[in-house]
């Protein structure tokens, strides 16, 4: 029992130190590039594919009551353009991201984890409609998911 | 006997559905269902959110921070000589705390008669569970290998204490403590879970706690691996090491291979092929595992 308690404590201490490390490296960069994901960009149909995806995605965001309030008063064409740039950069394409960083561009809204996931679901629906293979979708989502730390602000970050 | 058992299954299923529906006013009051499909896992045989055999570090139900979630389930494992039926409920609070309760009914069928207990004698236990998410987000923290980690407890109370003590168990009640680490590797659509369990349970507690070979608790490892085929479909396998405390009834490790399908955030179905090895006087127990879950 004593040995067990000690090993549990050591395990916990290791977990906590990991988490402190993870918290320290908050990625402020809006769109770190991943040249190795170039094949995924091809699976999305390159920049024209991303442009078509964003048209469908924005329509989906405006149709879904969970995400509509965040986009109905936005400059939708600008948002779509910047999403194309951002996804293109992430997927190793020859683009330049011209938008603000993730934290600044979202701080005007109250955004929960549920809002963040709702946007992911709308994006997944759009990617399905565009016929993008599930595994390619997940390779992009794996790069977008950590942005939750800069986008979700309710409850306020510790 | 067969008739009776079927009636019980139907009642259990109806109960699970009713419980899920009676909770839906909560769902209507606050916003719920913020998690992504299948990322709360399914219900494991002791009532916690996880794979089929093993708890995961995820919190049951579809609630995210600030939301509630819940899941009710019925699971049946039919092997050559036994049938295990489990009914249970788990409540997730703010994606941080999970409270669960489950009733396991182990139908001894013909073995019950051979042991002089009577054909179809039921060994039953209640499992009261709690789980606390300590760190990490298994799904969203994709830029670090840090898993989601949770600490859990399962307090088990057997309802036929005299019988399991007669088989050689030291106690009719026991408490398992476990630490689970779960990580989704989204860029390869792959999920891994490891659980370390501190337990005295014989056959998860169906044969009581502690025995002549070992009276005290031991640490047992449990693992799950799953591959996502679609948002609503996962296949995988699990392995659960088990203690072997009873001299008269050898206990084997359990494993299964499963497919889980979630047509919506309110329903999931899991089908598995399970091998639970030797149980009392019957060896090589294998068969189908079927689980249905309702929730939000």
* Domains of chain B by residue range: 2-295
The predicted pLDDT at position B16 comes to: 67
Which of helix, strand or coil describes residue A13?
A: helix
pLDDT tens digits, A58-79: 999 999 999 999 999 999 999 9
Residue B98 neighbours by CB distance under 10 Å: 28
Interface with chain B: mutation pick from A114, A144, A155, highest number of B CBs within 10 Å: A114
Written as six digits, the tokens of B256 are: 């299964």
**Residue A144 banded pLDDT, cuts 50, 70, 90:** very high
As to burial, measured by CB atoms within 10 angstroms (0-12 exposed, 13-18 middle, 19+ buried), residue B145 is exposed
pLDDT tens digits, A84-142: 999 999 999 999 999 999 999 999 999 999 999 999 999 999 999 999 999 999 999 99
Residues of chain B contacting residue A116, judged by C-beta atoms under 8 Å apart? 140
d(CA A55, CA A4): 56
Residues 88-127 on A with a CB inside 8 Å of B are 112-118, 120-121, 124
d(CA B48, CA B7): 25
pLDDT tens digits, B61-116: 999 999 999 999 999 999 999 999 999 999 999 999 999 999 999 999 999 999 99
Distance of residue A63 Cα from the nearest chain B Cα, in angstroms: 17
Question: Does residue A57 surpass a pLDDT of 70?
Answer: yes
Residue A13 sits at the chain B interface (C-beta within 8 Å): no
Q: How many interchain CB pairs under 8 A, A with B?
A: 90
Interface with chain A: mutation pick from B34, B66, B216, B262, highest number of A CBs within 10 Å: B34
Residue A156 neighbours by CB distance under 10 Å: 7
ipTM score for this prediction: 0.89
Q: Are B202 and B216 in contact (CB under 8 A)?
A: no
Query: What dotted CATH number matches B2-295?
Result: 2.40.160.40
Longest alpha-carbon distance in chain A: 63
**Quick check: bond before B88 cis, omega within 30?**
no
Question: Does residue B175 surpass a pLDDT of 80?
Answer: yes
Domain boundaries, chain A: 29-151
Longest alpha-carbon distance in chain B: 58
The predicted pLDDT at position B31 comes to: 81
Residue A8: partners with Cβ closer than 8 Å, 6 or more residues away: B179
Contact B34 A1 (CB under 8 A): no
- Nearest by CB to residue A19, choosing from B64, B146, B185, is B146
pLDDT tens digits, B137-149: 999 999 999 999 9
Residue B113 neighbours by CB distance under 10 Å: 13
- Nearest by CB to residue A145, choosing from B34, B142, B230, is B142
Q: What CATH architecture does domain A29-151 belong to?
A: Orthogonal Bundle (1.10)
Contact B149 A113 (CB under 8 A): no
């Amino acid at each position: 029992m004593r040995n067990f308690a000690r090993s549990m404590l050591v395990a916990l201490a290791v977990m906590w130190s990991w988490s402190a490390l993870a918290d320290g490296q908050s990625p402020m960069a809006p769109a770190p590039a991943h040249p190795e994901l170039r094949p995924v960009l091809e699976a999305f149909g390159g920049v024209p594919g991303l442009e078509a995806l964003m048209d469908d995605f924005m329509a989906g965001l405006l149709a879904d009551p969970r995400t509509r309030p965040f986009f109905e008063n936005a400059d939708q064409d600008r948002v779509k353009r910047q999403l194309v740039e951002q996804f293109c950069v992430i997927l190793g394409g020859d683009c330049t991201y011209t938008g603000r960083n993730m934290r600044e561009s979202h701080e005007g809204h109250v955004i929960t984890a549920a809002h963040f996931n709702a946007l992911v679901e709308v994006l997944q629906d759009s990617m399905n409609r565009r016929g993008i293979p599930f595994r390619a979708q997940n390779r992009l989502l794996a790069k977008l998911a950590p942005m939750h730390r800069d986008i979700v602000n309710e409850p306020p970050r510790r | 006997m067969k008739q009776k058992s079927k009636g019980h299954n139907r009642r259990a299923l109806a109960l699970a559905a009713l419980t899920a529906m009676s909770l839906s006013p909560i769902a209507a009051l606050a916003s719920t269902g913020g998690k992504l499909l299948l990322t709360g896992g399914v219900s494991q045989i002791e009532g916690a959110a996880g794979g089929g055999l093993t708890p995961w570090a995820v919190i049951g139900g579809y609630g995210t921070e600030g939301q509630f979630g819940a899941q009710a389930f019925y699971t049946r494992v039919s092997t050559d000589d036994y049938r295990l039926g489990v009914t249970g409920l788990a409540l997730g609070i703010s994606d941080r705390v999970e409270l669960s309760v489950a009733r396991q009914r182990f139908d001894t069928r013909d073995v019950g008669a051979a042991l002089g207990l009577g054909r179809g004698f039921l060994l039953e236990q209640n499992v009261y569970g709690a789980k606390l998410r300590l760190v990490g987000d298994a799904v969203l923290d994709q830029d670090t290998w840090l898993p989601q980690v949770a600490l859990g407890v399962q307090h088990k109370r057997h309802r036929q204490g005299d019988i399991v003590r007669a088989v050689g168990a030291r106690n009719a009640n026991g408490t398992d403590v476990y630490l689970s680490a779960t990580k989704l590797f989204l860029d390869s659509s792959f999920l891994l879970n490891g659980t370390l369990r501190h337990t005295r349970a014989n056959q998860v507690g169906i044969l009581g706690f502690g025995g002549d070979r070992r009276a005290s608790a031991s640490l047992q490892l449990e693992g799950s691996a799953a591959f996502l085929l679609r948002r609503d479909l996962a296949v995988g396998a699990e392995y659960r090491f088990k203690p072997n405390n009873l001299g008269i009834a050898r206990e084997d490790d359990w494993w299964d291979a499963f497919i889980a399908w979630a047509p919506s955030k309110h329903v999931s179905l899991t089908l598995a092929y399970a091998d639970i090895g030797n149980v009392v006087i019957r060896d090589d127990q294998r068969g189908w595992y079927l689980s249905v879950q309702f929730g939000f």
